[in-house]
Structure 1
Amino acid sequence: MSYKRRNYSGLFQGKPVNRFQSIPGININIDTMKTIGSLYLLGPFLRALGIRDIVDRIVPMKRNVEGGLTHGQVIEQLVLNRLNDPCPLLYIEEWAEARGVLELYGIPPDKLNDDRVGRALDAIAPYENDIEEAIVLSVLSRFGKIDTDQILWDLTSFYFEGDYDESELIRLGYSRDQKKDKKQAVVELNVTAKGGIPLCHRLLPGNASDQKEALKNLETLKKRLKKKDFLIIGDRAMMTKPNLAALLRKKMKFLGPLACKDREFILSFPEEQFQPLAYTSAKGKGGYSGIDTTYSFTHDGRHYTCRAVVVKSEELYEQQRKTLDKQLDKIAKRLDKIKGSLNIRKFKNREYVIGQINKAFEGHGNLRPLFDISLEGENGSLDLSWSYNPEMLEQQHRLLGKYILATSLARATHDANQVLEGYKSRHRVEARFRTTKSTLKIRPVFLQSDDRIRSLVLVNIIALIVYALIEYVCQQEGLAKSAKQALFMFRMPAIVTLTVNGQVVQQIGNIKPFMHDILDALKVKPMELANMDTG
């Protein structure tokens, strides 16, 4: 049965440019031109990584079912879509038509309909961990220079549209995107500190506790990497006192900011004890100083001690000072307004006035000690006075721009500057989350099945691995600053159908020399047409 082509050119736009010089005696007509863009790079790279083969090995199919299209082939196309031109699953068929999947892979686009895609997602769901582990181990084997001695850990949330009353994953919880009215799921991700290569992820319920998941994550990582002597770099959620106590008991390597501010500990160090640190950000900003010291605490009746670096950032100080000034000004204006309304209508009542004063500090209860407030008199003859508490205000300013980094790293091997530099590498895991949400467009998601949600997240993680590897290699070779730039450089390749002296010929055109430089760096061969006539 032949495949009937449909015209989807309006959904996926591409504007390749190809020019042919007229050659005497040769008549060339361009019949059609179909932009494949970054598929010219992504196709052979996914093949080299063995994505399709890994899925088919772990989730095999019986022969002669699903029209001969394996789950591995479907998942491969979903990963390609995430990286090339992400769209809702409903439109994968249209994307495949517009991007020449038939010509490149021999897969008729109508075989990638939403029902077939859904069945593939259902099939791989029970094996998501096995598939990810096999891909990660394949990557580590192929790219032997990837350093897994330092690993960055973080969590993010992504929201869902719909009720999801029966879902075990989709729950209301703390939203990192300020979407408090949306149900969500939480994705936990571990990436290498150098290169930001994803190593392991977990999909958690939307109401999962960051603090409780941190230690579970370590056990998952140890099984995945088959080692335990790695340094885990996390955020405040990882560095609660219970977690820190567990890390010390297990003799794990760790680095991260303490969850608690510990005012007394920070205030115990005079300003003159802070020594300049050489660290500068990627944007060239410095202004850091620190104190290399020891932090002690008690948990469940046991005493613990670890190394700590108290860091002060001038940039962070200015940001927090401006925020504090705005908050204090807002509270002061609210108190003055209450004072001006005293003994009028509701403000004659003492209890009502006390309630209004409390409302002035809503969301900023920690700033209450900075104010000395006095409410005198009886109902109808109240008098309110307030002023800043100079001692508490001075202490608050001394806390600004400062945080405590707790670590197991020895001073003999890592000075305070290296500790700060290690912590600042966390921007790589944050960048991977931004890529997942923007470039790969993991959300919003409308799937109604937990299994399909898990599988689609896995597809995005696989795409993120590919994205990170392209970036890693291109940066190593000086070919591109980012994966986004590298993929953009491949925007022009197209499948061109020509009529040459009456004979129809198909070829991939708009190929530039720099594209082969990137392909060579990734150690893959150029993309070819599945049905190309090489004779």
Structure 2
Amino acid sequence: METTPNLQVYDLGHLGLVASILDQIGLVQTVDRFVGPRPGEKVSTGMALKAAILNALGFVTSPLYLFGHFFQGKPTELLLGPGITPELLNDDRMGRMLDSLYAAGVTELFVEVAKSARRAFPFPVRALHVDSTSFHVHGVYGSGEEGQTDTGDEPLVIRLTHGYSRDHRPDLKQWVMNLICADTGGIPLLFAPGDGNQSDQEALVPLLARYRQSLELGEVVVLDGASYSQENLGALRGFSWVMRVPATLKEAKVLLREELPQEAWRPLLPGYRGLEVESEYGGVRQRWLLVESQERARMEEASLQQRIARAEGEARKVLGRLTARTFACEADARRALSEASGRLPLHRLVYLGVQEERQWERVGRPRKGERPLAVVYRLRARLEVDQEKLERARRGLGRFILATNVLDREGLPPWEVLRRYKDQARTVERGFRFLKDPLFFTESTFLKRPERVMALGMVM
């Protein structure tokens, strides 16, 4: 009589596919080689990291002591290896895993894992996209989290502090995630945590320069306007780059508002047109591409109409104050009207004349032959939209400027400059949107030590 074998049923779900990919890129071996062995450990750091990735965002949003519950009812040995049970994946082991990742250097380790993945699954990289975002933390972080100075090879502790909050939570302290992603699928190639009050202008370009050899950079680097400065352009010598030019620059303001002939514009991508000018801003020869977006122009036209309505309210207050004043002569009244009209952003004050008023010594009908104490004048004027000012404002709608130091127009045509910049939204920024989606609730961090926050960022 045949006996029925003792069968056990486990819920594998998608975890088998994820585990297989992690095995193919050599995640466990790369991490363990980089971190080093720990005598007597049953679950290596690399294997603990693999378990955290299998748990995915549950590792990010749940307390560490609940981590092992995720693997209850799942084929843990099949996914992670013989002898590994959910009980071994306790909060102590996962906490030590975070500590080991920090001690090894989260950025250096991330780069090694990314290089291993590229060897296992080769993919072309035509551009690298660089950006940052912030994640807020809950709890009290005192003076012990004040950061360190880079004095050697020891890993630095980030500073959890107040800064510019992309999450609109200025009341909470935060840390910053810096990412460099490939244009192919937005695959991250470098992760680096930063202080909560990090300035992108001061942080992103030095990060590129520091890890240039590790990343084997030979591609075009795409950055946002925060990194466009004279100092950074000098530091980027040897790089090929595409950046947005800040609209606050004097040269940019002139170009954005300039009246240009229609024949000067050339089609770029659907809905976009542009024209190129040469620039040597910061002592670096570069091409500036003035871009005009139809969709953006429509949106900014709606905003302009709102600005007109708001400006009209302020302009009426100015007109009210002027008409309430008295002037010694008509010339003074005209001068005051002209100065006030010139300060209005979108309106003008139209002169309608003055009204003479005589001031007497006493109230009532003046006596025959009595001379007034003074003769003053009141303005009569009306408010209207200044069409010239409005036309100048409309001239810049939908416009922005991109810059590149690739001078070969055949190698990097204008439409390609725009496309590479637009790819920023579907690469690094898409990753940030995913991590910050309320559905996944990773926009905040619940850990006590900044060292573990840094390691958690690498897992994310």
For the superposition of Structure 1 and Structure 2, which TM-score range results when normalised by the shorter chain? 0.7 to 0.9
Within-5 A mapping of 1:20-419:
33-65=9-41, 68-82=42-56, 87-90=61-64, 91-102=66-77, 104-105=79-80, 106-127=83-104, 128-144=106-122, 146-165=123-142, 166-167=144-145, 168=147, 169-227=159-217, 229-247=218-236, 250-261=237-248, 262-279=252-269, 286-297=270-281, 299=282, 303-333=283-313, 335-336=315-316, 369-372=345-348, 386-409=383-406, 410-419=408-417
Give the match's secondary structure for 2:226: coil
2 CA distance for matches of 1:368 and 1:179?
34
Give the aligned residue type for 1:131.
L
Per-residue deviation, residues 7-33 of structure 1 (Å, max 9, x unmatched): xxxxxxxxxxxxxxxxxx999999875
Aligned to 1:453: 453
Aligned length: 395
2:138/2:172 contact within 8 Å kept: yes
Gapped runs of 5+ residues in structure 1?
A: 1-24, 280-285, 349-366, 461-535
Aligned to 1:433: 432
1:210/1:238 contact within 8 Å kept: yes
Distance of aligned partners of 1:214 and 1:120 in 2 relative to their CA distance in 1, 3 Å threshold: closer
Per-residue deviation, residues 464-490 of structure 1 (Å, max 9, x unmatched): xxxxxxxxxxxxxxxxxxxxxxxxxxx
2 CA distance for matches of 1:407 and 1:242?
16
2:266/2:275 contact within 8 Å kept: no
Distance of aligned partners of 1:306 and 1:130 in 2 relative to their CA distance in 1, 3 Å threshold: closer
Across the aligned residues of Structure 1 and Structure 2, the Cα RMSD in angstroms comes to 3.3
2 CA distance for matches of 1:170 and 1:273?
53
Give the match's secondary structure for 2:115: helix
Q: Displacement, 1:87?
A: 4.0
Distance of aligned partners of 1:415 and 1:458 in 2 relative to their CA distance in 1, 3 Å threshold: same
1:200/1:224 contact within 8 Å kept: no
Give the match's secondary structure for 2:13: coil
State TM-score, norm by structure 2.
0.77
Higher relative contact order (CA 8 A, sep 6+): 1
Bigger mean CA offset, 42-51 vs 328-337: 328-337
2 CA distance for matches of 1:27 and 1:62?
44
Per-residue deviation, residues 272-306 of structure 1 (Å, max 9, x unmatched): 14434241xxxxxx221110221243x4xxx4431
2:319/2:383 contact within 8 Å kept: no
2 CA distance for matches of 1:107 and 1:93?
11
Distance of aligned partners of 1:126 and 1:291 in 2 relative to their CA distance in 1, 3 Å threshold: same
Q: Displacement, 1:205?
A: 0.4
2 CA distance for matches of 1:183 and 1:123?
25
Aligned to 1:532: none
Give the aligned residue type for 2:291.
V
2 CA distance for matches of 1:75 and 1:458?
10
Give the aligned residue type for 2:56.
R
Distance of aligned partners of 1:29 and 1:181 in 2 relative to their CA distance in 1, 3 Å threshold: farther
1:256/1:407 contact within 8 Å kept: yes
Give the aligned residue type for 1:216.
P
Distance of aligned partners of 1:149 and 1:415 in 2 relative to their CA distance in 1, 3 Å threshold: closer
Q: Displacement, 1:191?
A: 0.7
Distance of aligned partners of 1:287 and 1:103 in 2 relative to their CA distance in 1, 3 Å threshold: closer
2:348/2:386 contact within 8 Å kept: yes
Gapped runs of 5+ residues in structure 2?
A: 148-158, 326-342, 356-377
Distance of aligned partners of 1:150 and 1:186 in 2 relative to their CA distance in 1, 3 Å threshold: same
Q: Displacement, 1:400?
A: 0.8
Q: Displacement, 1:339?
A: 6.9
Distance of aligned partners of 1:98 and 1:172 in 2 relative to their CA distance in 1, 3 Å threshold: farther
Distance of aligned partners of 1:39 and 1:335 in 2 relative to their CA distance in 1, 3 Å threshold: same
- Identity rate of aligned residues, in percent? 26
Give the match's secondary structure for 1:37: coil
1:74/1:112 contact within 8 Å kept: yes
State TM-score, norm by structure 1.
0.66
2 CA distance for matches of 1:32 and 1:330?
70
1:92/1:112 contact within 8 Å kept: yes
Give the match's secondary structure for 2:227: coil
Aligned to 2:150: none
1 CA distance for matches of 2:79 and 2:200?
43
1 CA distance for matches of 2:265 and 2:33?
56
Larger Rg: 2
Give the match's secondary structure for 2:243: strand
Distance of aligned partners of 1:59 and 1:214 in 2 relative to their CA distance in 1, 3 Å threshold: closer
1 CA distance for matches of 2:31 and 2:55?
17
2:48/2:94 contact within 8 Å kept: yes
Bigger mean CA offset, 268-277 vs 258-267: 268-277
